[in-house]
Structure 1
């Protein structure tokens, strides 16, 4: 205020406006997020993949990749594997085998119980070639947005023998029994 202005007794409009601004309650907008939105790593790939035998065996040509499935929510979820590529090549349909206890979970879409974590073998078939490369898994949870998990490019040794160390001998037997 300058010396030329006349001071009025009482509270100024500016002071009232400031007080009102501080007294207005903040309104929070609560938008429920899907339970899985804050849960990174529903599918985690563990180790290198292993090649399944080709035409020389009863088992089809493809790959087996070890992964961990984790549902940290209090509700069951449905995972749909939309696509799996290796070195840019589509690996086709995916079979999902639970490693312990051993059992077939189906193909591409499977249900995961609330608060559960378990290891699986993701089985592909009819691979275009036996090249090594980066694995990319695209999947959805309960029909939500597509999520991805990938690995660094690495070698995929044959599942028979000791060079495939992504699976134990018992897990290899489990895979063979479910194919």
Structure 2
């Protein structure tokens, strides 16, 4: 009986210690993708510590808050030295993650419904290597500074944003909207494949 109590105490103590030592963070896997086809990566820029820990976004129900206690930006340039992909990885407060996910999706729905020449009236849902990605995209490359905005929630408080930039014709790495969509999807496929492989090695 005494040995069982000792074992139980050890298990409880271990669980308690883990609850204090394990914390959500942005792992290197999220910001170490360097093998995108035909794109060159710039080093990650970390969000300054003085940045606001909460940002406000618009939804159909008014403005809501999304927490952001840490974050990185990684730019991917085409062969004309123009940034095609703006990747942002942000960390939510642990208790706010579920609410942040909902608010982020509601914000995308709002932006999509209040924009013109969009690919779909509803959010696009894509699956890459076991990760689900949500977002919206333009149906033409002739308008807008951003052609597509997508978001992914891999867990542990982390949110990944993909922004696909439009450019002047002389700086583009795509010929038409179908070519853009092909390169857009290829980037997210390669990124999530890297993420899955990287996480498996940890």
- State the TM-score, normalized to the length of structure 2: 0.25
Higher relative contact order (CA 8 A, sep 6+): 1
Higher helix content, 1 or 2: 2
Radius of gyration: which is bigger?
1
